[in-house]
Structure 1
Amino acid sequence: MAPYRGTRLLSRWGFRRGRVLDDQLLAELTRNPDQLPRTSRGQWWLMGVSVLIVLVALGCLCGAVLVWAREGWPAGVRVLASLGLLALVALLFPAPLQVPRGAQIPQDQGRELRRLVDQVAAAVGTRSPDAIVIDMSLNAGVARFGWRQQTLLVIGAPLWAMLPPAGRLSVLAHEFGHLVNKDPMRSVLTLPARTFGDRAVAATGGRNPWRRALAGADSATWHGAGVAGVLVHGTLALINTVTATVQLLVDSAAMPDSRRAEYLADLKARHVGGSEAFVASAERLLISQGIWQDLWDCAPRMEASELGEAIERAAHHRAHEVTVLRQATLRANDLWSSHPPESDRIALVEALAHVEPSVDVSQERWGVIDLEMSGWYAHIHHVLLGTRDPIGASERSPGRGAVLPRHEGRSAIGDVVV
């Protein structure tokens, strides 16, 4: 959930400030596209706040233990105090990301896809991911997971199916660019500070706290709770408002670096996949929601094997929308957006010298990879039809080493956050 912006005045200021920020980043990277990522003051500040939050959480944990070491306290008081302190620990200390095991590619599947991932990772200059996950989101990403902080690559099957082959290379190179720039590790180090406000807002009821407080106070008064009920709801609303404001302040420090990281990853994608492939993949992402809608409409009239042809027809049908959608991305971003506008990302690559791709993948290899992904393409077709894969149906048709869907895909397509 995005943090509550508060007022129209604040939203307008955030939009103007975000536009200034993106203009500065564009000018800076156009002059010097080979600059190395740096740790800004905002990142150091967030790391410091994260350390403080972790220390407070550890203090609460120690306090929960010490409560039971105190003599003379009633058992009920000890239980309530320890539970309250443990609740604060859960609120303050976020759990590390865990791999969705049902979607992880086993080692004996997707051999050619793994070879491609390894090849792109080497071209970008990073090691291959420790795990590859395929899901039903219109997305791709990299992250650190587990207590060992291994690297996870997530590939959304609908996104993969919609992208042309060169665009797939560009997206993979973009994600591995984040690994080269150590963005996932910085995200882990700043995770407590970046997510504390959101968790506190959710724990106190979500958005519109004062409207909810008035309704709750009225209900409490009606049921005889009196002043105590009014104070409880008012306190929750106050905590909600304060933590939402804190989250806005944190995002004001975090998002400029997040947007810089996206631009720098885009430049890695340009070097590996080429300028033309980057623009093509970015434009395909702009119309991806429209493509999905067209696929949804024509799914009952096609077979799973015709998915690729249907995607290309839909992309051709939606091509005229690219210009308008590029302009729309400029209006949808403000200071607290984690990604820069797609229009600015395309403009940066278009303003730089044209680059040819440094990784060459033959049509035969793409054919093998598509064969490995055919089980997921069939699964996409079933999702479009609003049905569930029959048990083993997608496992009978793919060839040896195919990547098989072993979990239920979501029927809704999420936002593009590549």
Structure 2
Amino acid sequence: MDPAKPEEKQGRLERARRTLARRHGEKLLAEVTAGRTLSPRRDAPALFACAIALGVHGITFALLAGGIWCVVSGWGGAGVVLGLFLLALAWSLRPRLPGLPDDAPLLHRAEAPELYALIDEVARVADTRGVDVIAVDAEVNAAVTTYGVRGRRLLMLGLPLWEVLTPQERIALLGHELSHYSNGDTRHGLIVATAYRSLTTWRYYFTPIANPSPGEMFVNLLYLVPYSLLQGMLMLLDQLTLRATQRAEYLADSVAARAGSTEAAVGLMDRLLVAESTANTLRIETNKARASRRGTRQAEARGDELWEHLAARINSLPEYEYERQRRVGVLRGHSVDSTHPPTHLRRECLLTGVPVPAAVVADDDREHRIAAELADARSTVA
């Protein structure tokens, strides 16, 4: 989604990333509007990015092996010191596998069978499988990721976004997110993502000292070459993965349309356009709820009231507010988010093709059962 404002200060890497995003985004948009079908694929740049990532991890492994060898060799104590330093460096650069969030309610399959059944049904449309765990948080967003050594799947479900969507738009949202597991999004793959983090750590170690003293100026001079090489490596990874990442978003939107219908996918884009209004409304309603809270009221009732007010407020937004956000998006272009095409362009691409019906149709009874399964999470998040 488009954040509210572009960052005022951008580093060289971020400026280069935005330039590349604009270039790739314009080309992808031309392909889609010309009627060309985007398909998930591992092209040469994606394979090159994986090769670089494996090289980065190879250096980390070499540091680990060298540290162990130095500690075992000893060299009268000097080797032990060097070995411990190399081991500490390898530890800081290790590939970090994400885990489960510790600040969000978790829903397992036994606790929400209807929601998981819906996700499984949408996953079949996306040619993938469902998720292993659902985490419900307070973000106006949704995302999928993997966690743990076994690569188990996690859906991060932002309740403020879920509550303002229609049942079909929720299906489109699930289709979009689940599609990321099958559409070849290289940058968010385990190998490249962990290597990117390792390179960022390397760059941090060689970042020039701000306001240096005369002695520190000499250190900065020594840092110049490795820092420039690392910066260049990060820019190269951006160049190799940005197009695949933006292609993945358009592919995910097409799956959202197949799952929930083109109309629902377009409606989802409209809700994303007013995400800032949703967040602001949520803050206002939260403050009102806190001010009027009484000890005798149940937490679940207060939560229901909060979500109902939020949905009513967003549903009452006039059409000209959506149009205003689209025009703002045109002015921003790719200046805000380099990994996602601007929301108004994604909406335009959905409207360019032939409208498709929903492969998964919302059912009132199922919606009520899903709402009951989310009741405790709604109360906790509220």
The answer to whether TM tops 0.5 is yes
Is residue 259 from structure 1 mapped to residue 246 from structure 2 by the alignment? yes
Structure 2 residue matching 1:360: 3-state secondary structure: coil
Equivalent position of 1:50 in the other structure: 53
Q: Which amino acid is 2:193 matched to?
A: L
Of the three residues 18, 22, 27, the one matched with 2:25 is 22
Alpha-carbon separation, structure 2, partners of 1:173 and 1:310: 27
Q: What is the CA–CA distance in structure 2 between the aligned matches of 1:335 and 1:141, rounded to whole Å?
A: 19
Q: In the aligned structure 1, how far is the partner of 2:203 from the partner of 2:164?
A: 36
Distance 1:297 1:263, change over 3 A: same
- Higher relative contact order at CA 8 Å, sep ≥6: structure 1 or structure 2? 2
The AA in structure 2 aligned to 1:149 is: G
Aligned 8 A contact 1:295 1:314 in 2? no
CA offset at residue 33 of structure 1?
5.6
Q: Identify if the C-alpha distance between structure 1 residues 333 and 196 changes in structure 2 by more than 3 Å, giving closer, same or farther.
A: farther
Contact kept, 8 Å, 1:194 with 1:251, in 2: the verdict is no
Does the alignment pair 1:63 with 2:69?
no
Q: Give aligned pairs, total.
A: 360
Equivalent residue for 1:39, pick from 37, 42, 48: 42
> Counterparts of 1:147 and 1:65 in 2: how far apart (Å)?
23
CA–CA distance in structure 2, aligned partners of residues 39 and 270 of structure 1:
23
Distance 2:151 2:65 in 1: 26
Which shows bigger deviation, 232-241 or 363-372? Answer: 232-241
Task: Report deviation, 1:353.
Answer: 0.8
Tell me how far apart the structure 1 counterparts of residues 180 and 278 of structure 2 sit (CA, whole Å).
Answer: 27
What's the C-alpha RMSD, in Å, of the aligned pairs?
Answer: 2.9
1:324 CA displacement: 2.9
Q: Structure 1 residues 59 and 14 mapped into 2: Cα distance closer, same or farther (>3 Å)?
A: closer
In 1, distance between residues paired with 2:186 and 2:27?
Answer: 24
Q: 2:255 matched to 1:268?
A: yes
Is contact 2:18–2:338 with CA below 8 Å preserved after alignment?
Answer: no
SS of 2:143's equivalent? strand
**In the alignment, what sits opposite 2:266?**
279
Q: CA deviation at 1:31?
A: 4.0
Answer yes or no: is the 8 Å Cα contact 2:60–2:90 preserved in 1. yes
Match of 1:170 among 169, 172, 189: 172
Q: How does 1:16-415 map to 2 (within 5 A)?
A: 17-32=20-35, 34-70=37-73, 73-75=75-77, 77-100=78-101, 103-183=105-185, 187-204=189-206, 209=208, 213-215=209-211, 217-218=212-213, 227=215, 229-236=216-223, 239-301=226-288, 303-315=302-314, 316-317=316-317, 319-330=319-330, 331=332, 333=334, 337-381=338-382
The 3 A distance-change label for structure 1 pair 33 and 307 is: farther
> What is the CA–CA distance in structure 1 between the aligned matches of 2:228 and 2:203, rounded to whole Å?
8
Q: Deviation of residue 63 (structure 1)? A: 0.6
CA distance in 2, matches of 1:195, 1:111: 36
Q: Partner letter of residue 144 of structure 1?
A: T
Q: Residues 249 and 321 (structure 1 numbering): CA distance in 2 closer, same or farther, change over 3 Å? A: farther
Change (3 A) 1:239 1:322: farther
- The DSSP-based 3-state class of the residue aligned with 1:190 is helix
Q: Distance in 1 between matches of 2:86 and 2:162?
A: 45
Instruction: Return the letter of the residue paired with 1:82.
Output: G
Q: Which residue of 2 aligns with 1:402?
A: none
- For normalisation by structure 2, the TM-score amounts to 0.83
User: Post-superposition shift, 1:267?
Assistant: 0.7
Q: Is the 8 A contact 2:70 2:79 kept in 1?
A: yes
Q: What's the CA shift string for 1:82-104, capped at 9, x where partnerless?
A: 23312332344321122236643
**Mind listing any 5+ residue stretches in structure 1 that lack a counterpart?**
222-226, 382-418
- Residue 364 of structure 1 deviates from its aligned partner by 2.4
- The letter of the residue matching 2:123 is A
Structure 1 residue 35 displacement after superposition? 4.2
Cα deviation, residue 119, structure 1: 1.6
Residues in 2 aligned to 1:37 and 1:356: alpha-carbon distance in whole angstroms = 22
Displacement of 1:162 in angstroms is 2.6
1:161 to 1:235, Cα distance in 2 relative to 1, 3 A: farther
- Contact in 2 for aligned 1:5/1:248 (Cα 8 Å): no
Q: Give 1:317 deviation, angstroms.
A: 2.9
5+ residue gaps, structure 2, are: 1-6, 290-301
* C-alpha distance in structure 1 between counterparts of 2:84 and 2:143, whole Å: 36
Secondary structure of 1:154's partner?
strand
Query: Which position in structure 2 is the counterpart of 1:6?
Result: 12
Instruction: Work out whether residues 131 and 153 of structure 1, in 8 Å CA contact, stay in contact via their aligned partners in 2.
Output: yes
1:108 partner SS: coil
Shift in CA distance, 374/145, structure 1 to aligned 2, threshold 3 Å:
same
Residue 379 of structure 1, CA deviation:
3.0
Which deviates the most, 364-373 or 43-52? Answer: 364-373
- 1:137 to partner: Cα distance: 2.5
